[in-house]
Structure 1
Amino acid sequence: MINAIVLIDAEADRIQEAAQAVADLAGVDKVYSCAGDVDLIAVVRVRDHEQIAEVVTGGINKVDGVSRTVTHIAFRSYSSSDVDAGFSIGE
């Protein structure tokens, strides 16, 4: 499974509607509204890289209210237990 994190800028008066429309797209696992440099963050989970292009350029970028996206493809996933185990010295 390939994971991508999509940072989304949205029109201020369309954030909630854009978030729901993005969340309804196939391949989108979660959408977060957030404070900071972007309005929304979408987590995309698909089987291959071509599907990322379909979801982002063919789906998210076409949602009314979405003005810009930046996509980051994840290579590895870490959890707090993974990190703790990596720093454990025979405990």
Structure 2
Amino acid sequence: MITAIVNVRTDGRRIPEIAEALADLAGVSEVYSVTGEVDLVALVRVRRHEELADVIAGGISRVEGITGTTTNIAFRAYSRHDLESAFDLGLD
């Protein structure tokens, strides 16, 4: 599974309806409203890299009210257990 994190800038007056439109797109698993430089974060999960273009350029970028996006592709997922192990220095 390929995961992309899409940071979305929007017309701030339309955040709820834009978030709902994004959540309805095939390939978008979750949408969060967030603080900071962007308004929404969408998680995209697809089976093949080629599908990213369909979801992001063909879907997300075409939602009315979106003023820009930045996409990060995840290389590796870490669970809470993995993070605890990574930061465990073995000191008790």
Please state how far the C-alpha of 1:44 moved relative to its aligned partner: 0.3
Taking structure 2 as the reference length, the TM-score comes to: 0.91
> Structure 1 regions of 5+ residues with no counterpart?
none
Give me the whole-angstrom Cα distance separating, in 2, the residues matched to 1:84 and 1:42: 26
Please state how far the C-alpha of 1:45 moved relative to its aligned partner: 0.3
Which segments of structure 1 move beyond 4 Å, counting only runs of 4 or more?
A: none
Taking structure 1 as the reference length, the TM-score comes to: 0.92
Please state how far the C-alpha of 1:85 moved relative to its aligned partner: 2.6
In the alignment of these two chains, the number of paired residues is 90
Of the structure 1 ranges 37-46 and 76-85, higher mean CA displacement relative to structure 2 is found in: 76-85
Task: Show the counterpart of 1:46.
Answer: 46
Please state how far the C-alpha of 1:88 moved relative to its aligned partner: 6.3
Identity among equivalent positions (%) equals: 52
Q: What is the SS of the residue equivalent to 2:30?
A: strand
Task: Show the counterpart of 1:81.
Answer: 81
> Structure 2 regions of 5+ residues with no counterpart?
none
Aligned AA for 1:27? G
Aligned AA for 1:51? E
